[in-house]
Structure 1
C-alpha cells in the first residue's frame, strides 16, 4: 500500500495519482460508450433511421457489456489492470471510428454492438484501486473512482452537442456529429498510451495476486459451486431477452434463422461455462478447502442482486427520464433533457458518499439503509403525475438518485474485500448484473406504464433488502499465498 495516509484529492502523487488516472480512464470509456445518446436526433436524420431502429441501437449498446464484464474481470486478474485498461481504451477506439463514419443502419448497429465492450472498462479500475488503498479508505476511493468516472456519460450529453455545433458552424461541415464522435475515439486512443506509461499494477514492493486457474471463477465449497451456476442463469436470461427483442417478434434486426442460431449459441455457451467451472472447481467434490483459504460466494451473490437494483435501475432510468418529464409535464425535450441530467449529475457526490459511509459505519449497515431508501424513493416516483408541481417531482427524483448511486458506491466498497486475487472477476460479475438489471427493466418499460415500471424497481429493491440480511460484514483478513509459498494476510476492516 502507498504510505501516505488519507485521501488528498488535490494530490497527484503515489496512490492519488493512480486514483485520478483510474477515474479519468473510466470517464473516457463512459463518454465513448454513451457518445451517441445526445446526438441521436441528428444521427437518425443523417442515416434515415426509424424510431424502432433508434431503440435497437440503444439495446445493442448495452448487449455485449454483460459477457464483456465477465471476460474483462478474468483478463484483469490474469494480466493486471495496467495492460488490460490500455488495451480496452486502444482497441475500442476502432468501433468508435466505425460508428462515426457509418453509412447505414447495419454499419451503425454493428459498431454500437462492439462498443458495448468499452462499458466493461469499469471492472479494471475496481481491481486497480483495491491494490493501492487500505481497507479503511477503500470504500471512499472506489466511490470516487465510480462516481467521477460514471460522470463521463453526463459529460458527453452536455459537451458533444456543443462541439458538434461548433464544428458545423466554424468549418461548414454538414455531418459535424461524425467528427464529435471521432474525437471521443481519439481521446480514448490517446489516453491508452498515457495510462500505460503512468501506472503500475501495485505500489512498489507489493505482490499482485493472480487466480490459480483462469477460465472460470474459483469457489471454495460444493454449495458455492452450485450457487455460482445458479447466479450465471440471469445473465444468460438477459442475453436471451435481448435476442428476443432483436428477433422478428421484436424489432426484426435478426432473421428467424439467426435468432435460432443465437438461442442455440447461448445454450452451448452455458454448457461450456458449466464445464469450465467444473474444470476449475472439480477438486471440491473430493477434498475440502482448508478454512483459512475459504471465502463465501453468497457475499458475491448478495452484491450481484443489489447492483442489479442500483446500477440496473440507473441505466434504465437515465434513458427514459427525459421522455418521462416531457410527457408528464408537457415540457419540450431540451428542457426535459436538462432536468433529467440532474439524475446523472448526482453521481459526482453520491457514489463517493456511499463509499465513505461504508468505510465509516460498516458495509452491511450502510447497504441496508441505502437499499431501504432506494425502495421508498422509487415508490415515491411511481406516484408522480401531472398534478404534481415540477420542482417537487425533480426533488423526489434527485433524492431517489442519491440512494441509487450511494448504493452503487456501497456495493463496490464491499466487492474488493471478499477475495483479493479474484477481485476482477467478482467486480466483473457484479458489474454484469447491473447490465442485466438494465436489460430487464428496459424490457419491462416497453410493456407497462411509467408508474408500474417504477413499482417493479421498488419491488426488486425490497428483494435486495431481504437478501442483504444473509450477507456478513467483512472482517478479519483475506489469506493469499505469494509465489514463493509464503502467506500474506490482507486486512479487510
Structure 2
C-alpha cells in the first residue's frame, strides 16, 4: 500500500480504484438507461404519462433493500465475487426491458433493475481495503463521483446509439447494449480484482443478516433507524395503489403493507439474535463503535444523494416550464447539475482528508441548505444563466457532501463497512422517494424549500458526530488483534 497516489497509474491500488469506478459507472449507465429514451419507449409501448412516472418510481424502489442486502453479502463474501455477480445477474432484467412488449413487462424489468443501483456499496468496501486513511476520502470521492457520472453519460450517449440503429426499435438496441456491457465487464472485474492487497486480511462480520452493535442503547437506535426505510417502501406502495397511479389493486397494496410490517418484525428478531450478547455482558472498549456515527451519516446522505436523485429527475422539466425552453435545450441545461459530479465528489473527499471529516461536512451541509433555498427563489424573472449558476453551485455542495459522507463511512468499523455503506446508501434512496413524493404534492419552490429544511436538520445532527481519530480494532482469524489507523 506504499505506492503513491497517482491517478494516471494503472497498477496496484490505483488499478483497483479505476476498475471499481468503471464497474460503478456501468451500473449507473444500466440503472438510468431508460431515462433519456423515455419518449421513444412510451411511443413504442403506448404508455400513458402516469405509466411513465410509475417506471421512474419502480426504478428506485428495490434499491432500498438491495443496498442493505448487497452490503451484507459484500462483508461476507468479498467485493470481487459480489460485484462480478451483480453485473452479470443484472444484465438479465436489462435484456428483459429491451424486449418488453407492454407496460407490465417493462414495469417488472424496471423494478428488478433497481437491484443494480446497489453496486455502489461494494466499491466503498473494496476501496477502503486498498487505501490508507489519509487518502481514503479522495479515493472514495473519485470512485463515487466518476462512477455516478454514468447516469449523465447514459443521457448523452444512448439517444445517439438509438438513432444509429434507427426505427421504432432503436431504443431496444441501445438498452440491450448496456446489458452486454455489464455482462462483459463482470468477467473483466472478476479476473483482475483482489479483495485486499497481498498479505492483508479481509475482516468479516461475526454474523450475516443484521448489523452488529456494541451497546444496549445502540440496539434500540438501530431498530429506530430501520423504520424510515420501511416507511419509504410503504410510501412507494401508496404511490402505486388506487390512491396514486392505480398500478396495484387495493387488496395487493394492503398485502404489501402487511408484508412490510411482518418483514420489520422479522428483522427485529434477527437484530436481536445477532446482538443479544450486549444485554448480557458489555463489549470491550477497544471493540466498540458508536452507532450514532452511522445515524448522522444516514441523515446527511438522505439530504445529499436523496436530493440529487430527485432533482436530476425533475430539473429538465423545471427549466422547460420556468423558462419556456424546448425539451432538448432544457435537458442540456439541466445536465450541468450532473456534470459537477466529476470534480465535486472527489473534491469533497479530498477536503475531508485535508481539513478533517466533521468541519468539512459542517461547511458543505450549510452550503447545501443555502443552495436549495436559493433554488426555491428561481422563477421566470431570473436570467437563465443565473438560474444555471445557482443549480451548479447547489450541485457542488450536494455532491461534495456525498463525497465527504463516504470519506467517513469506512472509518467507523472496518468489518462492517459494507453494511454501514449499505444502510447509508439506502437512506439516499429513502430521501429520493420522499422528495419525489413531496414534488408530486407541491410546487417547485416548496419542493426546494423542503430539501433546504432537511439539510438544516442534517446540520444539527452533524453537531453530534465525532471526528474519527486514533485506531479501530479488528480481530484476525488466529485471534490476534490488528489496529487500523483512521485519523
- TM-score, length basis structure 1: 0.98
List aligned pairs for 1:285-364, cutoff 5 A. Answer: 285-364=279-358
Task: Please give the root-mean-square deviation of Cα atoms over the aligned residues, in Å.
Answer: 0.4
- CA separation in 2, counterparts of 1:392 and 1:144? 28
Residues 1:431 and 2:425 aligned together: yes
2:30 aligned residue (29, 32, 42): 32
Deviation at 1:257, TM superposition (A): 1.2
Count of residue pairs brought into register by the alignment: 487
Post-superposition shift, 1:284? 0.9
Q: In the alignment, does 2:240 pair up with 1:246? A: yes
Shift of 1:167: 1.2
SS at match of 2:453: helix
1:162 counterpart residue number: 160
Give the whole-Å Cα distance in 1 for the aligned partners of 2:168 and 2:159: 14
Note the alpha carbon deviations across 1:48-79, whole angstroms, 9 max, x for none. Answer: 00000000000000000000000000000000
Deviations 1:269-317 (A, max 9, x none): 0000000000000111111001010000000000000000000000000
**How big is each residue's C-alpha offset from its partner over 1:179-205, in whole Å with a ceiling of 9 and x where there is no partner?**
100000000000000000000000000
2:410 maps to 1:416? yes
Task: Indicate the residue corresponding to 1:123 in structure 2.
Answer: 121
| Structure 2 Cα separation of the partners of residues 427 and 242 of structure 1 | 23
Distance 1:253 1:422 in 2: 38
CA distance, structure 1, for counterparts of residue 181 and residue 325 of structure 2: 34
2:65 corresponds to which of 60, 64, 67: 67
Q: Distance in 2 between matches of 1:369 and 1:46?
A: 47
Measured in 1, the distance between the counterparts of 2:239 and 2:133 equals 42
What CA distance in whole angstroms lies between the structure 1 residues aligned with 2:35 and 2:375? Answer: 24
Whole-Å Cα distance in 1 between the matches of residues 441 and 183 of structure 2? 40
State the match for 1:114 in structure 2.
Answer: 112
TM-score by length of 2: 1.00
Q: Contact 2:24/2:123 (CA < 8 Å) preserved in 1?
A: yes
Cα deviation code 1:219-252 (max 9, x no counterpart): 0000000000000000000000000000011111
Aligned to 1:90: 88
Distance 2:288 2:323 in 1: 54
1:463 corresponds to which of 457, 460, 465: 457
| Corresponding residue number in structure 1 for 2:363 | 369
C-alpha displacement at 1:174, in angstroms? 3.2
Supply the distance in 2 between the matched residues of 1:232 and 1:389 (Cα, whole angstroms). Answer: 44
The answer as to 2:388 corresponding to 1:391 is no
What is the rounded CA distance, in whole Å, between the counterparts of 2:48 and 2:165 in structure 1? 26
Secondary structure of 2:472's match? strand
SS at match of 1:478: strand
2:55 aligned to 54, 57, 64, which one?
57
Match of 1:271 in 2: 265
Gaps of 5+ in 2: none
Where does the alignment leave 5 or more consecutive residues of structure 1 unmatched?
A: none
